[in-house]
Each structure stands twice: as C-alpha cells, then as structure tokens.
Amino acid sequence: MDFQVGKNYYGFKLLDQYEIREIQSIARVFIHEKSGARLLYLENDDDNKVFSIGFRTPPWDSTGVPHIIEHCVLSGSRKYKTKEPFMDMVKGSLQTFINAMTFSDKTLYPVASRNDKDFFNLMDVYLDAVFYPRIYEDPKIFMQEGWHYELFDKEDPIIYKGVVYNEMQGAYSSPEIILGDEINKALYPDTCYRHSSGGDPDIIPELTYEEFLNFHRRFYHPSNSYIYLYGNGDIEKHLEHIDRDYLSNFDKKDIDSHIDIQKPFKKRKEVIAYYPILKDEDDKNRSYLSLSFVLGENTQPEIYLMANILSLMLIESEAAPIKKALLQAGIGEDVFSINVGGLQPGFGIVAKHTSNDKKEQFEKIIFDTLNELVVKGIDKKLIEASINIMEYSLREAGNFATKGLVYNKQSLDSWLYDDNPTTHLQYEDTINKFKENIDTGYFEKFIQERLIENTHSALVIIEPKKGLGEEKDKALKKKLADYKDSLNEEEMEELIKQNEELKEMQLSDDSPEAKATIPKLSISDVEPKAEIIPQEIIKLEDVTLLFHNIFTSKIAYVDFYFDTSMVDEQLIPYINLLSGIIGKVDTQIRDYSELSNEIYINTGGINFDTNVYIEKDNDEIYYPKFRVKGKAIGDNIHKMMELINEILTQSKIEDESRIKELIQQFKSRIEMNIFNMGHYISSLRVGSYFSPTRKYTEKLKGLDYYWFICDVLENFDNNNQQIMDNLNKVYSDIFNINNLIISFTGDEEDLVLVKDSLPVVVSNLNKEIKETQKYNFLEKNLMKVYYLPLMFNMYPRGTISENLAMSIMAV
C-alpha cells in the first residue's frame, strides 16, 4: 500500500512516516480523526505480527482499579460471550503471545501470532473486550476478579475474596514490593506514582462497583488509547476493520489522563516503613536500606538510557564500584539497583539484609565512592563495557522472542507522555554520543549533577516487624466482624444469595451458544508444515559443531554444551553453583573486575547456565549439560574465544571471601525469584518424585538447590576447604572435550571466523575420558507440604497460579 503523509486511510490520517534503521522498520504514525485514537504501525518483514491497545490509566488511589479492570474486561464482551474469552483464546489459538499488563501509569493488552486469521481473531477479541466489556451488565465479574464479601452460612465469619485481592496479598508478602512502593511514595508524593496501580490489599476493599465502572468510562475511550501494529500483516484490512467495527462508533472527546510532573525537593527525604515477619523469625540484619534519585524526564533519550547505564556501571557489573564498596564494608548480603517512576525515571541503590544503624555508613560509602569517581574519573573500560551491554540489549530487544512487544513498550515510554512514539526506537545517535564522550568527563558530570547534588532523592528504609501480619489479620477480622454485626437479617440473606449466585456462575459451563461466539481456526487455516530451523552438522577433529544459518544482524551466537553426567550425585548442586561463580572470580591473567570489563567491551556477554535435556518421548533418558553462551560481532569472535578459554581453564576458585559474597547474592536472588516463580518451583518439586529428569533439575534449580545454598552459606566458615575442593573438582571434571557439542547461529561468513577461533578453546580442554555416573534417584516419597508465597511481576494474566495468593503443595 502506497502511504502518503496527510492522506486519510479508513478514517486514519497519516501524520508522519520514516525509516527506523535500528529496528529495520518503516514507522507510520496515524490519528483516527473521528475518535481521536492514536496508532503506530511498524512495517517490516517479521511474520510474528503484534497488535496491542493501551490506555493511559493513572490511578487516583491504591484500590487497584486499573489492575481489576484489566482482569474484568477480559471476562466476556459484546461479541464474545463466554465467561473467559481470554482463556478460551489461550487454549484454542496459535498465539505466540497473549497477555494483559497493568503498569504504574498505563494498561496494555498485547497479542501476537504468525497466523493471519488467528492474528485477526485475537485483535478482534481484545478490541471488543476493552470497548464493550460485560462489566456493566454483570456485577459478578467485579466480585470475582476484584473483591467481595464472602459468606455462605450465617454462622460463618465474613472474609474478603477476589482474584486481584488474593494476588496482591501474595505480592505484598514480598519486602521488595513494599520497598518499591515506599520509594515511589517518597519520590513522587504529588503524582499518580504514589499509588499502587496493582492494588494494596489493605485498600482494595474500599473500591466500589460504581467507582470501578467510572474508571472504565473515563479512561477506556479511543481518545485515550494507543494502538500498535507490528510486522508484515495486511495493514489495509486491519485499519479498515478497526475503523469500521470499533473506532467509528466513538466521537473524539477530551479526557483528562494527564500525568503531573513531581516538583523537585529542596532537601532529601528520609522514610522508614515496615514489612511483616513472624514472631518467631529472627529480625537481625533483615532491614533494607535504599537511596534513590529522580534523574529527569523519560522523554529525554539520554535520561531514558542513562538510568540503565548507571545501574550497570555502578551496581550490577562485577566491576561496579558502589556495589563492591558496600559489600566489602559488610553493608548487606546483597546490593542491587531498582528503577522506579514512569514519566520521571528514578534510579535507586538497595542494600538487602542489613540494619538501620548502618544507614549513615550506607550513605557515606555511596557518596564517598561517587565523589571519588568524579574527582579521579570513572574507569573508561567500565564505561565502555556498560554502554556495550546497553547497546546489545537494544539491538536484541532484550533477547525476547517476540521483538515487536519490546518495541511496543519502548514506543510507549515516550508516546504515553505526549512525545514522538519512535523516540526510544531511534537510539543509535544517543549510543554514539555516549561512546564519543567516554573521555570527556560527560559521565562524571552526570553523576555530579544528577546524583551527588540532586536533592530530589530519598533514603527509604524498610524494617522487619514481628507480629505485624498478625496485627493486621486481627484488625481485619474485627473490621469484618463489625461489618457483619451491622447487617440486618435481610441484608445477610442478600449477601449469601450473591455469593451463591457467584459460585454458580463460576462452576457452571458456558452454553453452546456462548462457546460458538469464540473464533476458531479450521485445519485449512493452519500451515501443515512446521517451521524448520536450519541446521548443518559439522564434524570437526574433536567435537561436533551445529551450524544454524539464520540472520542475526551480524551477531555471532556460540554455545558450548559440556556433558555433566560424570559428576558424582552428591556434587550435582555444585554444577549450578559453579555456573554462578566462574566469570565472577579472578583468573590467572586478571582480577574479576578487569575480566568483567574485558567481556563486555569485546562481546555481548559470556554467560553460564545448566540444563537437562530429555530424549524425545522418553523422559527416563536425559542429558545434563553445562552451557557456556557467548556472543560477539566480527573480529571480536576471536577475542571472545580467548576469554572463554581463560574462564574455563584458568579460573582461580580459591578466594573464599569472594565466593562467600557471591553465594550470599545467589541466596538473595533465589529468594526474590521464589516469589516470581512459585508455580514453577512447586511443579518441579512434584515432578521430582516421579521423574529422574525432574529430580536432577530439582537438585540444580529447585528447592533442593535452595536448601543446599542455605546450608553451604550457614556452614561456610567451618566447611570452606571442602566447599573449595568440591567446586574445583566439578570445574576440573566438566570442562572436558569428550561429548562436547558446540552450536553456532549466524551466517556463513562468521562461520569461518568461528571455526578458525574454536581451537583457542578446544585445544586447551581436558581430554581425559570420564566415567558416566549412574544416579539412583529412587527414594522414599515422604509426605511434605511447602508454602511458597507468589508474586506477579506487572500482574500477568494467564498463569496457572494467578488466582492463588499462596501455592500450597502436598507431595
């Protein structure tokens, strides 16, 4: 279709169009003249097409109304009359992505599919859901997804129930979620960011049904919408459909969804808040110290990227000076960065599991380190490495399979704030500016102005409080008991009736007529041939090389798969522990800070992980592997191989202080991930009692591994020599040329470079033939119950444990 700026296409006026070389797309920006809807179309050759519609939804309180609406609109609509069209499409679609997400200032409904008809169906289901939901005619949807008083018997106590209510109870059991909330309240007290868009479980029950409907009436209008299309779809058909079936039914209107700017503070704030722990839990060194700064506005390209570069440079890199200084001073078991805000991005430094009496030392170390960096200059290799990590992440769209979704999020990071939707998609000039200013003092000046001299900042501390949860539970029971006492007989019976009707709705099946409204694909709509990933098996002298000739924007991806079946059963957990240690300790050539800089200056990263692969159709046969992943461009492939060789053959696993420090960080990150992955942890644990593959994986990545880490850490000072010996034994055994498989993804030109460089690694590997171990995982199935609190990042729908606040698993 030949587009021309200024012309109208099915009600959409084309405002601008231009090439975005960074993402190999043509961007076209439209406005729907009748309804006021905005639309961004990124045209390219990607057949993994993406549609999304988003709304600017600044919350006006912490009742979680944006989150509750996100759930409710996907529970039936004008055209699609089942109870959960969303889940029906999950089950019957060829979607490559389907979800809905509540952010701090927007709500997003994205879908993706490679199948044209399926893509059209998904788009239509979502458009009908957001503009014509059943929420106005059926209050039970609000009761189910939001909250309600539950009562089935007059003699029983009343309790709160609801999907979002239960979900957020799980979320607020995480200290990190509470800390993020408190930082937002401290930094943005006069804006929407002071509220919890997901919902504070203490406040969610304050939301009335009418307020809920009013929020939808106000914000879910085309004039407040941001429509996004990506890929090689039939744009003419899509524009015509969106106009004819939806947008043409609405007239443009003024909607006040403006997001206020927080005025800077005259001096830094200090806030103390609390999170609950049990009365019998140890509260020593369980505090979180954080120092956060507002950097500017997200519409500024340099500010937008600098938040992440600061995080890499100062905190997340192994060479990061603030992290190193805090850990060496014993301030916390783990140090990490936190990004908050929206329109005005905030950068924060967090020390986990420390104490309030160290707050002055915490602040002093941070500012002393920052001042030293400004006066003496930041290590230029560290700056270069941090920029390189950022650039790889942008070029690879964060390694997310459906790249169009990442570009959607990036477009909204400027578009939502009334700026050009492609501002952050066109990042090359900003990255080049950063590179050109490595030696000019640009970064030192940024730190001086935006961190050291910045009074728009906050020191936020959260401390454990024994019995806080019990106090809240007691107050809630009294509140609900008082409410029950206020009801007369007729009101009590009406409440019971409402709950019985809700239960009947939940348990009843959709009618055949309702099911018939859900769009389906026929066999003729589905391509019978599966996509074939190109693979050439190349037998080299000592190893097998798998070559995948795929376009990768000239990034060479090389993976080494080392066999780990020779490792003794009791040492299996050390395999995963080793994957977190090598690359982060000194080698015989350089210290770990220098190693980190060299890796990220010359490559897109060298990473290590473990996995278990199963024989097709037979999970009794499995292949445990240790994977070394590297990526580089052109001539840097050879340098990458040199660094991999250095790590695999010359790592010094002997610095007990450094290794203990790393294990403390592993434990901290596992604990945070348990909140994110409760359903995975539970299912893995269950499967470990029936499948040797899952039992092996459980020892590598499940609760067994977490308990192993806890035990190693608790007894480290007494067993340090044994721990070092075990790590070195596994290190010596694994990096062996026997059974090694190497995978390369890229083009034929880079294949030559890879083959020429492989001897740098392969020739130095251990060649001793090791005996494969026979593991006996047949153990008594003891009855155990595990309670795993769940947290949901951005409150995703569609997970099997979405409706649970706690995952309770009995084995």
Contact predicate 675/786, CB 8 Å: no
Distance CA 117, CA 496 (A): 45
Cβ distance 201 to 182 under 8 Å? no
Q: Answer whether 339's CB lies under 8 Å from 307's CB.
A: yes
Give dist(CA 460, CA 348) in Å, integer: 10
Cα–Cα distance measured from residue 130 to residue 220, given in angstroms and rounded to the nearest whole number: 7
8 A C-beta contact, residue 238 and residue 10: no
The amino acid at residue 109 is Y
For 587, which DSSP code? B
Integer Cα distance of 162 and 152 in angstroms: 15
**Cβ-Cβ contacts under 8 Å for 199 (sequence gap 6 or more):** 62, 63, 64, 65, 67, 68, 164, 165, 168
Q: What is the rounded CA–CA span in Å between residue 334 and residue 580?
A: 15
Bridge partners of 291, per DSSP, are: 349, 459
Residue positions annotated with a catalytic role: 70, 145
Q: Which residue has the tokens 């490595």?
A: 438
β-bridge partners, 631: 557, 605
Contacts of 153 (CB under 8 A, 6+ apart): 496
For residue 723, give both structure tokens: 């721990």
Q: Nearest Cα to 646, choosing from 660, 632, 628, 658? A: 628
Q: Cα separation of 27 and 441, whole Å? A: 35
Residue 156 makes CB contacts below 8 A (sequence gap 6+) with none
**Token reading at 366:** 């941070």
Number of C-beta neighbours around residue 205 at 10 A: 20
CA angle 601/605/611 to nearest 5° reads 165
Tokens of 515: 């099911």
Name the CA dihedral angle for 89, 90, 95, 98, rounded to a multiple of 10 degrees: 100
Residue type present at position 209: Y
The amino acid at 412: L
CA torsion angle 661 666 671 673 (round to 10): 150
Angle at CA 233, nearest 5°, toward 228 and 237?
A: 85
CB-based burial label for 549 (10 Å; 0-12, 13-18, 19+): middle
CA atoms within 13 A on the CB side of 649: 16
451 token code pair: 């961190």
